[in-house]
Chains A and B, each alone.
Chain A
């Protein structure tokens, strides 16, 4: 399990550079073979998608209409805004939940560390579709068992199609592995113990310490976690589809039947957006690397 935990760290960002033995004198040909083959495999679908969307099949003319048509497309603004709001709420709740937990586990309760680590890793291995079936079963209790109780009201309120809070709640669970890893590495890198003890000795309360000491020190980790969570929510399909809410990815699938080129254009754009989000993360990582020397 620890090796798995280690490996998740890699998924969170870009690994630091360490000197590695340069290549040997012979046997370099396979390297070019691997690079060439995989390079082709990864580039062709992207290039083909762009070609597919800018070229009119009938006349052979080039056009950008499928891209300029995205903002005005039926349902786009609504579903995209909903996904953005869901992402922002997920980031806020995930951080509010995990920041105190990670700090406490690192500084005061090291005995709980293994348990917390295992629990945060669970969403990586439990298939999302299995989790969503379970969530659906729990939601079905409201009409079955709790009808006319305040609890049922709560159950119905979090399933409002305009802003489905239940999606936010489960997305926080999906984000746990990434948020935990990002914050944990940040806490370990900074000398939080001294800082928090100093703040405590000066009479600051724990909430105050979290807000005014821990948060500023961990800002790059926090941003890292926030961006990863944001990208995750923008692309999430399984939960929204099974629970029957329309978000950005389910919208793409819905319009693909009538407007195939529009759906491919949106897919290309979403790749570009993910790319920029993650470039931003790695730029932040590099800046931290040089600044704090951690």
Chain B
């Protein structure tokens, strides 16, 4: 009994600094402030407001961006991981890629945005190079757009995928491949019936993780596009910094609550898929 007391600080801390803020969000998103009397009432105004117009577009934009970047980086990261694991003289290469992944997965946010601005921004080195040599610049591509953001997000999502999927790839026993080879299976058949099903749950899990980080990314987008691209995180920041509109604060809470709900739904879906695949594998 006494030993259980030792974990009290942890639970207390998590309750105060993690669960309480989320709970407050869930309650106060349903509050509204009267613009004239400043009286607080219960209302679903903020919740309805975020499903319409500019906020609806922001949610769709964020979902689209995170879905596309998550799937793309999952594919690229998986390909990179397979490539370095199966390279013949690849010990040095492997260590290099793994260390670089560790660094670059943590290299998000503001510095990343500036590295890309220096490269393919309006004054960027590569932009200038293409302009001088070919005279076309980037040919209609703009870093300060949804496509530009996606390109930048891959920079930390692909390394994150490599790091998260390598342990799963290493768990694929070489003997399975040898057994499949000896039984006359083609490479395709091996991946379709052996490797694929074993890898599916970890790959899905990693993709969810990528989705969550792309969905929540704020710093990079803020530094790159301000608020010209419809993204929920940018809309939340806008709503909170607005001193003009009464009730903007509540709108921000509703938008944030919506993000938590989206992530929650994704996790629930993941748990469901996980259960299905486990039953199927067993």
Contacts and interface: CB of A to CB of B under 8 A. Distances in A.
Q: Do A and B come from one complex?
A: yes
A286 to B, nearest CB: 10
Contacts of B168: 6-7
A48 B14 contact: no
A278 B158 CA distance: 18
B219 A133 contact: no
A256 interface: yes
B280 interface: no
Interface string B155-182: 1001010011111111000100110000
Contact of B94 (A6, A17, A250, A252): A17
A133 B25 contact: yes
B125 A52 contact: yes
Given A23-B87, A105-B7, A173-B17, A15 B98 contact: yes
Nearest to A141: B24
Given A9-B167, A130-B22, A270 B17 contact: no
Q: For this complex, into which size category does the number of interface residues on chain B fall?
A: 35 or more
Contacts, number: 289
B114 A256 contact: yes
B6 to A, nearest CB: 5
Q: For this complex, into which size category does the number of interface residues on chain A fall?
A: 35 or more
B61 interface: no
Interface string A250-294: 101100100010011011101100110011011000000000000
A137 B115 contact: no
B185 interface: no
Given A22-B86, A274-B103, A282-B99, A134 B109 contact: no
Interface of A: 1, 3-4, 6-11, 13-15, 17-24, 27, 30-31, 34-35, 38, 41-42, 44-46, 48-49, 51-53, 57, 97-98, 100-101, 104-105, 108-109, 112, 116, 119, 122-131, 133-138, 140, 169-170, 172-173, 176, 206, 231-232, 235-238, 241-242, 249-250, 252-253, 256, 260, 263-264, 266-268, 270-271, 274-275, 278-279, 281-282
26 contacts: A4-B208, A7-B202, A8-B209, A14-B99, A19-B174, A20-B85, A21-B177, A21-B178, A24-B86, A35-B83, A38-B76, A42-B100, A42-B155, A53-B118, A100-B9, A104-B6, A108-B3, A119-B18, A127-B233, A127-B263, A128-B218, A129-B218, A130-B260, A241-B222, A252-B111, A267-B114
Given A34-B76, A53-B118, A206-B6, 15 more contacts: A10-B167, A15-B170, A20-B169, A24-B187, A34-B80, A35-B84, A38-B158, A45-B155, A48-B115, A119-B18, A133-B255, A173-B17, A235-B110, A263-B114, A282-B102
